[in-house]
Structure 1
């Protein structure tokens, strides 16, 4: 007999890995819908703090005793069967459900189920489209993988017409969803520990698109050969976008002195909307274009879409300015694979400052599989600092470490230094950082806490 989350409305839901970008949002959504929610995560984070502010008992550490109070346990794909809280649930015969299954069940009954997929850009594109739909008074239900100030978090419970969510490929999680509209932003190398090779990754995206109903639609990046190869195999309507090729294209792209882009969106050669963004980076032009393409398909007034995008301030942990220390401007970005880190640095360089990139490598398997890409992804930064690898769900295999990355970077002409801990990194930056520098911390682990640590310590020293 399959487990249905609806059977536990009003009951106690315990979430293992509650601090994750998706899990924390689902915790919010369950709380808003009338479930009692508790959870644990491996380490302290801003996400746990935010959940506690919503009266959710979210703790750092492992707490089998919390499981004993639960009616159902939700766990993320990163949590193995050997986790002590999951083992407690097995012992007590408490039903368990994987995160992606929960998300798929929450989407049921919605008329339009919009799923944003791709190796990079899911969160920003999803957030842009969310803001457009809200401004258009369509009252969407939203689950995005980052916190948006405009909705006070990462979820929004609206009507039963539109459910907008990110569709994550890791562990093939997106195969638990039931999209009626699928955005495919790109298909690039990542999660090889899960897929084995690029063919395996591409096949997973094909299986995802195969979930679409016959009258569904695909919004696809025209400049990605893998994406277009998959679209050629599908029977559903495919609407394409790209800088220069596709149904939706870009014209008159310019940047202001801060690097923020403005452009005209064309549909099959016809001028449809003038778009201006606050956030920098040409990759965000593509994210906005994908959002506009989907909005147009839904019948949204593009003048409203233009206004919404002009006011879009981004998502927390996406090239987010966090403060100033010793005259250095501190930023944080969630980018955790080489391509995303390179893109974040490209935005930093638009400010014409000396850029110090602080990399927290994420998971041992990713560093092993993409080792050579890590060695050059920060080459456009003036200085690169590398912290210890953030293992997340993984146990240290003993054959990879951050010193190996630094050695490889130096051989490739990158000025790199090993600063294993947050304290080491802070000391380096205070000693060698200069007024006017831009410091960019990067990673999806807990590296954002370094920004907070430095700000707190600096503010205390200034008070003295």
Structure 2
């Protein structure tokens, strides 16, 4: 059995190193004394970030990248026909898949808090990580987004507590050893792997069954599918949500002019205090309640936990303001499932604005096909929608789905939508039509954030 602990002092190469999880794992390995380098398919902000951290990254996948390598780490998005995976097989180089590595790094921690669900994992795990740090519990952390307050997406702390974002793609979270599981919600997604919602529920049930007898599960009590999973457990369970029947819930919710929520937080009918969030939108209330519940169960001081959550400023690539140009606020969000996109646009709509623009980069052909009807309505709250070409990610073009099909269907629904295949097309259209006071949100987990970057770069050049 290949194990990461046997490769200290040896050369590790990571294929797909700039991915949201892989980049964090690379940082964590370096912090723990491993020699790490990697490769990725294209230049980008994460490639530059890793280089600034002293981690060598080559752009492009080549056989020579494996010269002198003792251990190869890859992600499920890197298919078997990738030249680097083929070279590893030919040379007999030991290898680990990303999910196996994360599972190994989590071994032997006294407590492992794992946040799972279709939506909200990254923000909730980021909130939880920051809260536990601020409460002095010194967690080790690996999540799928950058949180400034903890120094990035990873943190090496004590060996008592590990906080991890538990991703369900490819059932990767089944390699973990949770003692505390937080379940945010259950919706259809990753249907290139899962058959349907029942298959998703079955896999989440397997994840929860990894809990030890004295483990704890905390779930979104307003989601019947989550409640059904909790009811099937013998371990202690708690719920959170808007309904007063939950163990943890908010009351007296108010929003300021920028859509930041203030609310009283209750536990089992007892008011614990009032919380004012520094991140906007209704969905953030759910994330904050979940993070508070998890921190509370882990023994954090309740008052300090509420103070920390009030100071939380968000995760990069989650409704992140990237710039203001011509009086237009431009945001980016990682949301790629239609429900996530809809929630993000609802948040944007709550803020003062003239007109709201959604710039959608559909993600993977299989997702677009299986969730087609959801895609064509998820931006209807926006005044204008731009749709770029589909981001293939790990998939090959099957030839039977295209963004133009989405645009045609959206137009039939009465949505004001324009096909903008490239980022240049999207930028040119936006700049020709936006007005002061507008809000633009780019949406997707592919490389749509590069549109925000090029808008900023071009604005500086023209200043």
Q: TM-score, normalised by structure 2?
A: 0.98
Which structure 2 residues correspond to residues 85-100 of structure 1 after superposition, within 5 A? 85-100=84-99
Contact (CA 8 Å) 1:242, 1:249: kept in 2 or not? yes
Whole-Å separation in 1 of the counterparts to 2:225 and 2:351: 33
Residue aligning to 1:407: 408
Whole-Å separation in 1 of the counterparts to 2:9 and 2:185: 39
Whole-Å separation in 1 of the counterparts to 2:313 and 2:139: 19
Q: TM-score, normalised by structure 1?
A: 0.98
Residue aligning to 2:55: 56
Q: How far does the alpha carbon of each residue in 1:227-272 deviate from its partner, in whole angstroms, 9 at most, with x for none?
A: 1111111100001111013111111111011110011111111001
Whole-Å separation in 1 of the counterparts to 2:168 and 2:279: 26
Whole-Å separation in 2 of the counterparts to 1:360 and 1:43: 18
CA RMSD between the two structures: 0.8
Residue aligning to 1:375: 376
Contact (CA 8 Å) 1:68, 1:89: kept in 2 or not? no
Whole-Å separation in 1 of the counterparts to 2:154 and 2:412: 45
Whole-Å separation in 1 of the counterparts to 2:336 and 2:118: 11
Structure 2: segments with no counterpart, 5+ residues: none
Residue aligning to 1:429: 430
2:223 equivalent to 1:229: no
Residue aligning to 1:457: 458
Whole-Å separation in 2 of the counterparts to 1:440 and 1:329: 9
Whole-Å separation in 1 of the counterparts to 2:141 and 2:432: 44
Residue aligning to 2:331: 331
Contact (CA 8 Å) 2:132, 2:139: kept in 1 or not? yes
Contact (CA 8 Å) 1:123, 1:144: kept in 2 or not? yes
Whole-Å separation in 1 of the counterparts to 2:439 and 2:204: 37
Contact (CA 8 Å) 1:19, 1:47: kept in 2 or not? yes
Q: How far does the alpha carbon of each residue in 1:15-43 deviate from its partner, in whole angstroms, 9 at most, with x for none?
A: 11111110000000001111111111222
Which structure 2 residues correspond to residues 39-78 of structure 1 after superposition, within 5 A? 39-78=38-77
Which structure 2 residues correspond to residues 255-334 of structure 1 after superposition, within 5 A? 255-334=255-334
Describe the SS at the equivalent of 1:120.
Answer: coil
2:394 equivalent to 1:362: no
Contact (CA 8 Å) 1:175, 1:208: kept in 2 or not? yes
Contact (CA 8 Å) 1:40, 1:60: kept in 2 or not? yes
Whole-Å separation in 2 of the counterparts to 1:68 and 1:201: 40
Residue aligning to 2:21: 22
Which structure 2 residues correspond to residues 101-120 of structure 1 after superposition, within 5 A? 101-120=100-119
Q: Give the number of equivalent residue pairs.
A: 461
Describe the SS at the equivalent of 2:299.
Answer: coil
Contact (CA 8 Å) 1:68, 1:92: kept in 2 or not? no
Structure 1: segments with no counterpart, 5+ residues: none
Worse overlay, 181-190 or 63-72: 63-72
Describe the SS at the equivalent of 2:280.
Answer: coil
Residue aligning to 2:252: 252
Whole-Å separation in 1 of the counterparts to 2:407 and 2:57: 36
Whole-Å separation in 2 of the counterparts to 1:60 and 1:394: 20
Describe the SS at the equivalent of 2:329.
Answer: strand
Describe the SS at the equivalent of 1:277.
Answer: strand
Whole-Å separation in 2 of the counterparts to 1:111 and 1:240: 23
Residue aligning to 1:352: 352
CA shift for structure 1 position 308: 0.5
Which structure 2 residues correspond to residues 97-246 of structure 1 after superposition, within 5 A? 97-244=96-243, 245-246=245-246
Whole-Å separation in 1 of the counterparts to 2:392 and 2:59: 16
Whole-Å separation in 2 of the counterparts to 1:430 and 1:201: 42
CA shift for structure 1 position 397: 0.6
CA shift for structure 1 position 325: 1.8
CA shift for structure 1 position 60: 2.4
Whole-Å separation in 2 of the counterparts to 1:371 and 1:69: 46
CA shift for structure 1 position 326: 2.1
Whole-Å separation in 1 of the counterparts to 2:202 and 2:59: 37
Whole-Å separation in 2 of the counterparts to 1:329 and 1:64: 44
CA shift for structure 1 position 64: 1.7
CA shift for structure 1 position 47: 1.0
CA shift for structure 1 position 281: 1.1
Contact (CA 8 Å) 1:131, 1:308: kept in 2 or not? yes
Q: How far does the alpha carbon of each residue in 1:325-378 deviate from its partner, in whole angstroms, 9 at most, with x for none?
A: 222111000000100000110111112311111001111110011001000000
Residue aligning to 1:79: 78
Q: How far does the alpha carbon of each residue in 1:166-193 deviate from its partner, in whole angstroms, 9 at most, with x for none?
A: 0000000000000000000001010111
Whole-Å separation in 2 of the counterparts to 1:193 and 1:399: 15
